[in-house]
Structure 1
Amino acid sequence: MCRIAGIIAKRISHHELTEKVSLMCDVLKHGGPDDGGIFSDEHVSLVFGHRRLSIIDPGINGHQPMADVNKRVWITFNGEIYNYLPIREQLLAVGVVFHSFTDTEVIINAYLQWGVSSFSKLRGMFAFALYDIKGGTTFLVRDASGVKPLYYYVNGKSLSFASEVRAFKSAGTTHETDHSWPVRFLAFGHIPEPFTTLKNVLSLQKGHYLAWQHDSCTYQIRPFYQITAKPGIISLEDAKAQIRAGLQTAVNRQLMADAPIGVFLSGGTDSSILSLLANQQTEQQIKTISIYFNEKNYDESAYQNNVLQQISGEKYTHLVKQKDFEEYFPKIIADMDLPTTDGINTWFISKYAHQDGLKAVLSGVGADELFGGYPSFNRMKYLRYLRKLPSFLFKAANYFQTDRHRKISFLANEHYLGDYLLLRGLFVASDIARILDRSAGEVNEILFSEQNLNHLNRYDEEHAAWFETNLYMQNQLLRDTDVMSMSHGLEVRVPFLDEDFQELALSLAPGIRFDSYQPKKILIDSFRDLLPEPTWNRPKMGFTFPFQEWMSRHGEISNEKLYKGRFAKNEVLKFKNGQIHWSKIFALYQIQQHV
């Protein structure tokens, strides 16, 4: 797990290119504290940079950027390839020579053997740049689930890329702000892909590669892998057996490491299953990291202890208090890279995991999206009926008093994002217009200008799963998990998003995969003999902190005098009176700092 950066630009001197990429790597050092490297090719005005977090083959053989033995292909790679050993065996069988035991070298030689079709053979989380000298092409490649970030910027005949947006600013590649980002942020609570805070600095789509042709300075973006369903599974017993075996395989794959590894144990179903499955691996005792609070409504230590009693490895628990939130709040904001209303919880647990000597952890992200763990899975069916109402009624929803009802106004837009924002949006368009002093028409144009996806009109559980996976998880959970964990030099692995396990989950008949009365029932039933009953037989809580209380007592966040405009000040007062959710005030606070 690492951080990567690079620039290809014929109109910039070799010295300046190297200096710029070095600056990019300096600002990314937190994500790769163990080693760093630069590769350059003056003939095509290319410089690759790398910051390394050593987890597999941590010695000098894993230094990057790396080349094959004949130095035809160079790579700078961020991530883990969990199936690199069987691919390596295939390559050895046809005479390929290796000089390390790294997954990085496997990517290089797989490309030399199979070309771009090799990308679809990789199972893992990854973002890499690969320069084929003979082919005159550089590829930017991002994994099928979009676990690892990869941003790029094309300016005329130059291409820049990096693992974080801040790197583009640090190198002076671009400082031009995308003035639409505050609108998107206030609506979504994050900045959805492919957009960022910088104009034309975009996120490469998951499961795609960008091919840059050096002679013409042109590029194309193409898909290489899409997670799809296999033939349908209609037997309940068969489904449970395959889920058990499939998730065990995914956990086994992702425990691969030459460095200390553990599990985030929140006390919920998903992290408990991962902890207990990891504990069954006799080769290493698993370490667990848990957080608890003095605020009893948020404290899950009792549920954590039920699982910890069944685990033999080292168990780290940490109390997080209001004063910790106050102390680290400025650092948390600085580490975000892009504005978001999530990720503080990941920042804290990653901090403690790093302190406890871990370099990698397993996380339960993805289970809710695959098996119907959110309220949206039941709420989605109501959208089918709402969408049949006249449009003027949706516009009239702006006059409702409560946030919940005002968000119906999003349905005035015949667009799938209107549906999503009704379910998960923060501020409605008219309120965003007031906050930013823009017209509601301009706000709606920004939010709904992208192509509408007409196939998203079924309004069933599979529809909700698509929303939660491709919008909420992709844009918020995965991005925030990556940037917040890597700010502490920690790798977070996500077994539920193993490509083969996802294909298995998508193959379940909807009546088996989803249950209207018990969220994630098939997952729970598959591991019922492993899980303590109190873990699954309780209301869903989620991995959350006492932010409603903490932010209401935070000197800056809760001080309405520090906010601009009557609307924002009134929102702060409503928050202090318990009338609105903390995420809205947290979004407003960040807008105050940036706009």
Structure 2
Amino acid sequence: MCGIAGIALRKPGALNWAGRALQGLHHRGPDDQGWLAWSPAAAASRGKTWDGAQGSVLLVHRRLSILDLSELGWQPMSSPDERYHLVYNGEIYNYLELRQELQALGYCFRSHSDTEVLLAAWAHWGPASLKRLVGMFAFAVLDTREQSLHLVRDFFGIKPLYYSAFAEGVGFASEIPVLLELPGVRRQANPERLYRYLRFGLTDDGAQTLFSDIQQLPAAHYLRLDLNNLRLTEPQRYWQPTLQSPLELSFEEAAEAVREEFLENVRLHLRSDVPVGAALSGGIDSSAIVMAMRQLEPNLELHTFTYVADNGVSEEHWADLVGQAAGVQAHKVKPSAPELVADLDHLVQVQGEPFGSTSIYAQYRVFRLAQEAGIKVMLDGQGADEVLAGYAVYGGARLASLVRQGKWLEALAFLRASQLEPALKDTWKSAIGFLIPPGLEPLARRLAGQELTPPWLNSAWFTERNVQLVSPRAAHRRDVLRHELLQSLTETSLPKLLRYEDRNSMAHSIESRVPFLTPRLVELLLNLPEAYVLSPQGQTKAVFRRAMQGLVPQAILERKDKVGFATPEQRWLQQLAPWVKQLLDSETLSCIDPFRQAAVKAEFAAILAGHKPFDFRVWRWINLVAWARTFDVRFD
């Protein structure tokens, strides 16, 4: 796990940005660093301490040593013939199997690192190697013979990769703040993305970011940069999750297939040359990971890290139950509102883009706790909710599926059952949202008090910049639930959660692994009958609960509530009211023209007084102001 960056210049010159990039990515790789400079007229030069080299292409790497801790794992790594040079962030979990395959083809290896395996795989198969990988990765590979640079990102976007064209060339990096140091890269807000964030809390999907001049390589894509003219090709998709006819498996057969695939994923994700821990909330997903770790590695010294809420809905007792069953060394953290204020500037800085709620702070503190305990690798349950229908909205999607398919009696039975499930509250309201024709959605939103342009939003600012003020929800066909899961996986939910996870973990120099997110497991779950995922009795994650029988404590498998990293948002807001008012009275807010500033202040006062309901729009206001202040963002 590491941080990477690089630039390609239109003509050879000074590469002094390297020093700033190495410093800016220090938290992603505090164990080692390296750089490589190349130009067509000279052999590559390389080193650890930046010495002011010149060239046409620069590759920069910060190392967090996880596999092969020796110098043989140093990057940038070069092929024996010096044709290929690689900087890579991530883990290839099936590197041992790939290594054997490549050895049979005649390749020899000096190290025990997955980096060297990835480099050899690219040298042999090129982009065709990507579908062979099981892992999370973002990498850049320089081909000196073809004079090209490929940028590549993993199947789900677990690892980040941003790029930007500037006056002298093209730059890329693991994090946005590093690219803001390039000359001519503006700190201008992207109007379209700003609307999606402020109104719907959406970020990170697709190629755009909240900075107009910076793009991200979408998940499961690669792009090629021709170094002769610095022409970027359109990103090429190398894999995508597909919805096919539901698999013809019995429920028991499906549960067995899910169990087998999940345990294999956890086994691969345990490969490490440093201690491995786990985030443990006490929910089904994290509990399954911890119990699988214990079954697969009976002698593992297993540390777990738990956020404890003080809002009356703490999952601490559930986490304790799993911890006792797995024999873990448990660590817990209980953040407070004043601690959030003290850490907010750093949280905004490391995230690079705004976020939607304070639940991200709970995760931030869990990773800090792990760092304090000396853990460098963590397993986490991210992605399970998006493929196993873990959120309340999926109840409405399932009901809408049954209605669309004309299964009226099943729809009525499901609606009745869902009323008894706390995780599926307001199922009928959510279903209406899926069933309303797109042309009627604006009217329905107004009637429900969920306008596309609420009074605090300066709609004129957006329309002047040709932003379409519409809902991001896609029209679904008969299998509404499966299509909603796919959209959550690729657009509306998972991309931003993976960004939060990556930045929070790497801010504390920790590699966070997500064993639910492999193509084989995801495609299996997406193509099961909907009733296997969300049962007729309203049970979420039904097939996974069955798959974990005998492994996870039965009390956990029978849980009906869902909490996650739920922070006491509204109570914290009351405690932080003076600080929030000061922030909203700041000069920064007056420069954010997308807001109707008087309306924002009036609505905040009404929420504090109890005259208007609280929701996450408040934290989006706060976070946007803090982001704009931290990065000197312009809204011209």
Q: Which amino acid aligns with 1:460?
A: V
2:20 to 20, 23, 36: 23
Q: Which amino acid aligns with 1:435?
A: L
Q: What is the CA-CA distance between 1:481 and the residue it aligns to?
A: 0.8
* C-alpha distance in 1 between matches for 2:102 and 2:441: 59
Q: Which runs of structure 2 are paired with 1:399-478 in the superposition (5 Å)?
A: 400=447, 405-407=448-450, 409=451, 428-431=452-455, 434-436=456-458, 438-439=460-461, 441-442=463-464, 445-447=467-469, 456-458=476-478, 460-478=480-498
Q: Which runs of structure 2 are paired with 1:14-413 in the superposition (5 Å)?
A: 14-15=13-14, 18-43=15-40, 45-155=56-166, 158-172=169-183, 174-180=185-191, 181-193=193-205, 194-220=207-233, 221-228=235-242, 232-280=247-295, 281-295=297-311, 297-342=312-357, 343-380=360-397, 381=400, 394-397=441-444, 400=447, 405-407=448-450, 409=451
1:569 aligns with 2:569: no
* C-alpha distance in 1 between matches for 2:438 and 2:524: 40
Q: What is the CA-CA distance between 1:388 and the residue it aligns to?
A: 7.0
Q: Which amino acid aligns with 2:273?
A: D
* C-alpha distance in 1 between matches for 2:307 and 2:438: 46
Q: What is the CA-CA distance between 1:90 and the residue it aligns to?
A: 0.7
* C-alpha distance in 2 between matches for 1:322 and 1:198: 29
Q: What is the CA-CA distance between 1:132 and the residue it aligns to?
A: 1.1
1:531 aligns with 2:552: yes
Contact conserved, 1:429 with 1:440, CA < 8 A, in 2?
no
Contact conserved, 1:184 with 1:192, CA < 8 A, in 2?
no
> Residue in 2 aligned with 1:5?
5
1:501 to 521, 524, 538: 521
Stretch deviating more after TM superposition (66-75 or 317-326): 317-326
Q: 1:173 to 1:130 in 2, by over 3 A?
A: farther
* Cα distance per residue 1:450-469 (max 9 Å; x no partner): 9x976x44461102202221
> Residue in 2 aligned with 1:553?
575
Unaligned runs of 5+ in 2: 41-54, 401-427, 591-596, 629-634
Q: What is the CA-CA distance between 1:345 and the residue it aligns to?
A: 2.1
Q: 1:157 to 1:225 in 2, by over 3 A?
A: farther
Q: Secondary structure at the match of 1:310?
A: helix
Q: What is the CA-CA distance between 1:334 and the residue it aligns to?
A: 2.3
* C-alpha distance in 1 between matches for 2:563 and 2:144: 52
Q: What is the CA-CA distance between 1:391 and the residue it aligns to?
A: 7.5
Contact conserved, 1:429 with 1:444, CA < 8 A, in 2?
no
> Residue in 2 aligned with 1:540?
562
> Residue in 2 aligned with 1:424?
none
TM-score of the pair, normalised by structure 2: 0.83
* C-alpha distance in 2 between matches for 1:235 and 1:398: 40
1:520 aligns with 2:550: no
* Cα distance per residue 1:398-431 (max 9 Å; x no partner): 655xxxx222x4xxxxxxxxxxxxxxxxxx3243
Q: What is the CA-CA distance between 1:136 and the residue it aligns to?
A: 1.8
Q: What is the CA-CA distance between 1:486 and the residue it aligns to?
A: 0.8
Q: Which amino acid aligns with 1:372?
A: A
> Residue in 2 aligned with 1:586?
619
* C-alpha distance in 1 between matches for 2:614 and 2:160: 29
Q: Secondary structure at the match of 2:327?
A: coil
Percent of aligned positions that are identical = 27
* Cα distance per residue 1:470-515 (max 9 Å; x no partner): 1233331111111111111111110010222112212322232332
* C-alpha distance in 2 between matches for 1:128 and 1:587: 32
* C-alpha distance in 2 between matches for 1:390 and 1:119: 39
Q: Which amino acid aligns with 1:239?
A: A
Q: 1:386 to 1:303 in 2, by over 3 A?
A: closer
Stretch deviating more after TM superposition (344-353 or 246-255): 344-353
* C-alpha distance in 1 between matches for 2:394 and 2:435: 19
Q: 1:108 to 1:365 in 2, by over 3 A?
A: same
Q: Secondary structure at the match of 1:317?
A: strand
Contact conserved, 2:307 with 2:362, CA < 8 A, in 1?
no
Q: What is the CA-CA distance between 1:556 and the residue it aligns to?
A: 1.6
> Residue in 1 aligned with 2:405?
none
Q: What is the CA-CA distance between 1:235 and the residue it aligns to?
A: 1.0
Q: What is the CA-CA distance between 1:60 and the residue it aligns to?
A: 1.0
* Cα distance per residue 1:218-246 (max 9 Å; x no partner): 23221222234688242111111111111
> Residue in 2 aligned with 1:418?
none
Q: What is the CA-CA distance between 1:591 and the residue it aligns to?
A: 2.8
Q: Which amino acid aligns with 1:6?
A: G
Contact conserved, 1:31 with 1:486, CA < 8 A, in 2?
yes
Q: 1:169 to 1:561 in 2, by over 3 A?
A: closer
* C-alpha distance in 1 between matches for 2:252 and 2:441: 45
> Residue in 1 aligned with 2:50?
none
* Cα distance per residue 1:172-220 (max 9 Å; x no partner): 3512413414323202324343222322311111111101112232232
Q: Secondary structure at the match of 2:138?
A: strand
* C-alpha distance in 1 between matches for 2:457 and 2:147: 49
For this pair of structures, how many residues does the alignment match? 564
Q: Which amino acid aligns with 1:14?
A: G
Q: What is the CA-CA distance between 1:164 and the residue it aligns to?
A: 0.8
Contact conserved, 1:24 with 1:171, CA < 8 A, in 2?
no
Stretch deviating more after TM superposition (369-378 or 248-257): 369-378
TM-score of the pair, normalised by structure 1: 0.88
Contact conserved, 1:4 with 1:78, CA < 8 A, in 2?
yes
* Cα distance per residue 1:341-372 (max 9 Å; x no partner): 14222211111111111111011111111111
Contact conserved, 2:5 with 2:61, CA < 8 A, in 1?
yes
Query: Aligned-residue CA RMSD in angstroms?
Result: 2.6
Contact conserved, 2:516 with 2:522, CA < 8 A, in 1?
yes
* C-alpha distance in 2 between matches for 1:207 and 1:399: 37
Q: What is the CA-CA distance between 1:386 and the residue it aligns to?
A: 5.5
Q: 1:229 to 1:59 in 2, by over 3 A?
A: farther
Contact conserved, 2:148 with 2:227, CA < 8 A, in 1?
yes
* C-alpha distance in 2 between matches for 1:590 and 1:529: 44
Q: Secondary structure at the match of 1:325?
A: helix
Contact conserved, 2:396 with 2:431, CA < 8 A, in 1?
no
Q: 1:211 to 1:278 in 2, by over 3 A?
A: same
Q: Secondary structure at the match of 1:338?
A: coil
Q: Which amino acid aligns with 1:375?
A: A
* C-alpha distance in 2 between matches for 1:83 and 1:388: 43
Q: Secondary structure at the match of 1:9?
A: strand
Q: Which amino acid aligns with 1:549?
A: R
* C-alpha distance in 2 between matches for 1:150 and 1:64: 17
Q: What is the CA-CA distance between 1:292 and the residue it aligns to?
A: 1.2
